[in-house]
């Protein structure tokens, strides 16, 4: 391949510039959000812990949904029909 084949054309170069600008804006917005949270008294460690707990919660919830789905298949019912039996809300 020639060196020319690796050079972006004008359109893709402009698209890359736009993408870089969008990422810079997102970075700035996140920095501002972090600054806001810190000014409200949150610490980075607390935020990291909260994020970690949210990930753990989501993993447990996914496992529960999977088990409910398998149980529903075994019983020949919908997952929705199992919710009252286990005192679950549809929004859970």
Residue 78 has pLDDT above 90, yes or no: yes
Which residues, at least 6 apart from 64, have a Cβ–Cβ distance to it below 8 Å?
none
Residue 59 pLDDT: 96
Its pTM stands at 0.52
Q: What is the spatial distance between Cα 57 and Cα 92, in angstroms, rounded to a whole number?
A: 12
Cβ neighbour number for residue 64 with a 10 Å cutoff: 13
Phi, psi of 9 (to 5 degrees): -80, 175
Residue 12 pLDDT: 85
pLDDT, tens only, 17-74: 999 999 999 999 999 998 898 899 888 888 889 899 999 999 999 999 999 999 999 9
Contact 68, 82 (CB under 8 A): yes
């Amino acid at each position: 391949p020639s060196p020319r084949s690796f050079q972006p054309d004008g359109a893709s170069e402009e698209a890359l510039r736009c993408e870089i600008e969008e990422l810079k804006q997102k970075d700035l917005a996140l920095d501002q959000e972090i600054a806001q949270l810190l000014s409200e008294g949150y610490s980075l460690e607390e935020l990291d812990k909260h994020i970690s707990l949210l990930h753990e919660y989501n993993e447990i919830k996914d496992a529960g949904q999977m088990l409910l789905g398998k149980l529903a298949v075994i019983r020949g019912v919908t997952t929705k029909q199992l919710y009252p039996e286990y005192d679950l809300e549809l929004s859970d």
